Structure 1
Amino acid sequence: MHRRFLIIAQARSGSTYLQSLLNAHPSIRCRGELFDLGQIDDDGDKIRDPARLAARDADPAGFLHRKLAGEGLETEGLLSIGAKLLFHHNPRLFSEILPSAPDISLIHVSRSNKLAQFASARQVEKTGRWVASGGDGPPPRIAPAPKWALAECNRLANEDLFLGHWIAALPNPSLRVAYADLFAPGIADRLTGFLGLPSVGPLAGALRKQGQNRILDRFENPGPVRATFEAAGLGAWLGPELP
């Protein structure tokens, strides 16, 4: 039987980059965002047929278990099959389905720099590009009201806190991975070790970090943003996110 897993995360926290790393391992298949509200994203195969979406949402447990069992995949050589579950997906997954499936391993990826996460989401709204694989220029800068940006960062931090506590209370095996860890040496061994699979050396995904690394460079109004976040004790979020 395949080792089943889910990446659990908020949007713009590195979950798609993590998916690309896992899919670089020959024995792992991460299927993607199967419970997106407007589509079934099966590792890039985007299904928007209303009848299929309605069938998925009428029986989310059955749909999830079939997909994690390999429905529609060539499973020869696969030892672990997973998918992505984001905080805004079907609440039945959180309240009913996962608590009754303790064998599903959970990888919680979290982005500690909530200003970077917030800015990434706003930049995506402008460009429509959810991922970057090379060749794209830097995304356009944004000009949010600084107090609103701070409130949204507070919301993201609180949601992530509650998500982490919820995962910790489950009997499922779990691994917490920080966004910065995804770009650090040793991440491949951590992931394969958690899933009980042999190491194949470093994993190289097809994606790259999206957006300016110095977070303040993402803003058209850097002065007010700096003042607001430094006054809140969050000045560390303004500099480079990665070394």
Structure 2
Amino acid sequence: MKDGRGRFDSFVMFAEMRTGSNFLESNLNAMPGVTCHGEVFNPYFIGKKDQLTLFGYNLADREADPIALIRAMRVQTTGLAGFRYFHDHDPRVLQPVLDDPRCAKIILTRNPVESYVSWKIAQQTGQWKLTNAKNLKTAQVRFDAAEFETHVASLQEFQVQLMYALQVSGQTAFYIDYEDINDLDVLNGLAAFLGAEGLAGLDGSLKKQNPEEIAQKVLNPDEMERGLARLDRFNLARTPNFEPRRAPMVPQFIAARTAGLLYMPVRGGPVAQVTGWLQRFGAVESDFTQKSLRQWKKARVGHRSFTVLGHPVARAHDAFCSQILMGGFGQIREQLVKIHKLDLPAPGKDYADVASHRAGFIGFLKWIKLNLSGQTSARVDAHWASQAAVLQGFATFQGPDIVLREERLAEGLAFLAAEVGQEPPAVPPASVHDFTLLAEIYDAEVEAVAREAYARDYVAFGFSDWQGQLLR
């Protein structure tokens, strides 16, 4: 409470339309010392329908400074103040509220099919609340499978965002389902979570709408069943991802000073080749900070940023040769040998024969699968991290304008040069290491093991089998 005795000085109820948030709000307001002010950040009103001012703020004031309205709400409310927040409310409010450990989080959920059908009925009848059962309006609605899939996707995305924010900040929320908002014991558990006095009984001012089973509420129940059967409810087709999130690595970006081209390298790819191409425009710059890179961009209207993806097999083989066989990553080499029983030659040396090199590379690919899945103690290095993770890391600062493919590098770079009004210089030849070439060991087994290790990249970027067109 505001006197400092409680854990919280405010709260937010994360909910959606037709999840029972009106009923839960009325019961929160029945708790002594607790006030929920409604949908304070609804785009069309403040707090409740047709209300355009609250705590001295109108819509324009709220638009100018939404956080100031939250501060005013806390100051001007006796006891614990809160509001309801839906996924389509003012996004500027979300992160500050999530980051505030003194703001209690209540997360209200409901079966998405039920909430979707209820929403469709409310749209058709115009009845969003019911206080007198005599005034109940009923209707049957048509289930739209495509619309429902979009509805579910937005709900899931928002819930994942909430969960992640709470995890990284070490906070917890009070989760409550639509089925439990009529349970007095559960609501008194919520009161205890908020540090408030419990209820003697439920607020009875609001009545349940549309209590029938779902099949009776829709005009096309058979079509609804077929539409729901199409959904992968348990996300069985998802490629699991346990790879740690990556930083954008801005200091490694390379820019052609006069050409307005910014290269965002993916390690293990043709970094030296692309850098050499940029140098043919003149001086290049690197070692950026986020601040200096923004300044570079501001000074070059029409600039283009880009990255280059390499085939997972070629990229992994490059990492195997240039990093592991060359003798870098001493601790990882030791782990590969002692724990994973990988036969490695002396640092800087190749295997005695092609068959041994192939066996060693397959062993390395199998280790990469474990490493990317979080099943080893070694870090995930940028040279063999999935390219999907690298690009997601870029996006935490800013994603590239253009993503090129190594197998069509000359065409892609020529297109980039034309984009910034430059004549494209010739692309330098790729450097070739002194170890056994991938073309000498590649076969269906190598491809299959690489697909297991880099399943995420193969799905994300549509890689076909390696064609052997590059000397890596």
> TM-score of the superposition, structure 2-length normalised?
0.44
Aligned to 1:187: 186
Contact 2:12–2:104 under 8 Å retained in 1: yes
Determine the structure 2 residue equivalent to 1:237.
none
Contact 2:31–2:197 (CA under 8 A) maintained in structure 1: no
Matched, 1:102 2:101: yes
1:100 Cα offset (Å): 4.5
CA RMSD between the two structures? 2.6
For the residue of structure 1 that corresponds to 2:37, the secondary structure is: strand
Match of 2:131 in 1: 133
Q: Which residue pairs with 2:45 in the alignment? A: 39
Report what 2:114 is aligned to. 116
Q: Which residue of 1 aligns with 2:156?
A: 157
CA apart distance, 1:205: 4.3
Q: Distance in 1 between matches of 2:230 and 2:221?
A: 14
CA 1:38/1:61 → structure 2, altered by over 3 Å: closer, same or farther? same
Aligned residue among 21, 27, 32 for 2:33: 27
* SS at structure 1 position matched to 2:14: strand
The answer for the alignment partner of 2:93 in structure 1 is 93
- Conservation of the 8 A alpha-carbon contact between 1:68 and 1:83: no
1:81 aligned counterpart, secondary structure? strand
**Deviation sequence 1:77-97 (CA, Å, 0-9, x none):** xx32211111111111123x2
| Identity rate, percent | 23
C-alpha distance in 2 between matches for 1:203 and 1:169:
35
On the 8 A contact 2:98/2:165 being kept in 1, the answer is no
What are the ranges of 5 or more consecutive residues in structure 1 without an aligned counterpart?
Answer: 235-243
1:148 aligns with 2:147: yes
Structure holding more strand per residue: 1
User: Which residue matches 2:24?
Assistant: 18
For residues 124 and 28 of structure 1, the distance between their equivalents in structure 2, rounded to whole angstroms, comes to 29
Go from structure 1 to structure 2 and tell me whether the alpha carbon gap of 1:169 and 1:128 turns closer, same or farther (over 3 Å shift).
farther
Instruction: Give me the whole-angstrom Cα distance separating, in 1, the residues matched to 2:147 and 2:99.
Output: 38
**In the TM superposition, what is the alpha-carbon distance from 1:231 to its structure 2 partner?**
5.3
Post-superposition shift, 1:175? Answer: 1.0
Correspondence 1:199 to 2:205:
no
Change (3 A) 1:205 1:161: farther
Q: Is the 8 A contact 2:166 2:172 kept in 1?
A: no
Residue 57 of structure 1 corresponds to: 63
Answer whether contact 1:103 1:172 (CA < 8 A) is retained.
no
Contact 1:118 1:152 in 2 (8 A): yes
CA distance in 2 between counterparts of 1:20 and 1:110 reads 17
For the residues of structure 1 that align with 2:50 and 2:148, how far apart are their CA atoms? 33
Distance 2:42 2:105 in 1: 18
Aligned equivalent of 2:225: 226
Q: Report Cα offsets for 1:92-150 as digits up to 9, x if no partner.
A: 1123x214532111111111x11111111111211222212222324311113334334
Residues 214-243 of structure 1, C-alpha deviations (whole Å, 9 max, x = no match): 112110111211233245477xxxxxxxxx
Q: Tell me the SS of whatever aligns to 1:186.
A: helix
> How many angstroms apart in 1 are the aligned matches of 2:72 and 2:172?
20
Query: Larger Cα Rg: Structure 1 or Structure 2?
Result: 2
